[in-house]
Amino acid sequence: MNLLLFIIAIIASFIVVRIGAIAFELTGLEWSLAKFQALSCFSGTGFTTKEAELITGNPQRRRIASVLMVLGNAGLITVIATFANSLRPSTIMPKFTIPFLHLVFPSSLLPWINLLLIVVSIYAIYRFFAHTKITKKLTDALRARIIKKDIIKPVTFEELLVTTGGYGVSSIAVCKGSQILEKTLFESNLRSHDITVLAVERKEEIIPNPPAETKIMLDDTLICFGKLENIRKELYVIPK
């Protein structure tokens, strides 16, 4: 039973980390960074100052990180407890009911047999989740479920780089409802909020260092530098 609980705990941990990564991605983090941050929160290791700022500076990400940390601590305790109990001979096979079975598998070898089963199980679980097609299908299904249930609201920007003092570079997708839509950069008054537009991506065209009279159109992507808190406040629009 303990061996089964251990395997279930490992599988649940993989799924929880995957859900956390999807949730972080929906808040604007790049996928590889989202996976790393989800694993960092769940395991309590791996944070760096700049990447931690991406999490702590966003209320929605802080909530995701908090849930992952709580589940990670509970999961770690469960895994350790079930792992230790799985190696106890009495929990594996307290009595031999089949004649001569003890001649094939002596009682002293049973913990090692269980350890081998654990290693094989972990490897099999890892290979399953590392399989590209299976993982992609699982990820797409979980992402669709999260969006459908409105658990995490996808955002319209991606934080590309964090520098010191809370400043960074972000990629902002201009969508319906944006307060700067159909305005020129001058009219958007972003400079007064300490936001500088470094470039505008419009379909396949890139406008570097755009002039003040550049009009912001629907589906434009703005590459901005400034205080990330201000960028989220002024340009954050939840997609419909």
CA distances from 222 to 39, 98, 168 (A): 30, 72, 13
The least confident of 64-68, 148-152, 168-172, 173-177 is 148-152
| pLDDT exceeds cutoff 90 at 199 | yes
Q: Is the model's pLDDT at 100 over the cut of 50?
A: no
Q: What is the pTM of this model?
A: 0.58
Nearest-angstrom CA–CA distance, 142 and 21:
11
Q: Domain-by-domain residue ranges, the chain?
A: 2-148, 157-235
Q: What pLDDT is recorded for position 207?
A: 93
User: What is the per-residue pLDDT across 114-158, written as a single tens digit (0 to 9) for each?
Assistant: 778 778 888 887 787 777 788 888 888 888 888 777 777 665 556
**Is 16 or 228 the better-scoring residue by pLDDT?**
16
pLDDT in tens, 40-93: 888 887 666 666 767 776 778 888 989 998 888 888 888 777 777 766 655 444
Q: Kindly write down the DSSP assignment for every residue of 80-126, as one continuous string.
A: HHHHHHHT-HHHH-SS--STTHHHHS-GGGHHHHHHHHHHHHHHHHH
> What is residue 98's predicted lDDT score, i.e. its pLDDT?
44
- Output the DSSP codes for 7-70: HHHHHHHHHHHHHHHHHHHHTT--HHHHHHHHHHHHHT----HHHHHHHHT-HHHHHHHHHHHH
pLDDT higher than threshold 60 for residue 239: no
DSSP 217: -
Topology given in CATH for the domain delimited by 157-235: Alpha-Beta Plaits (3.30.70)
Look at residue 196 in the predicted model and tell me its pLDDT: 93
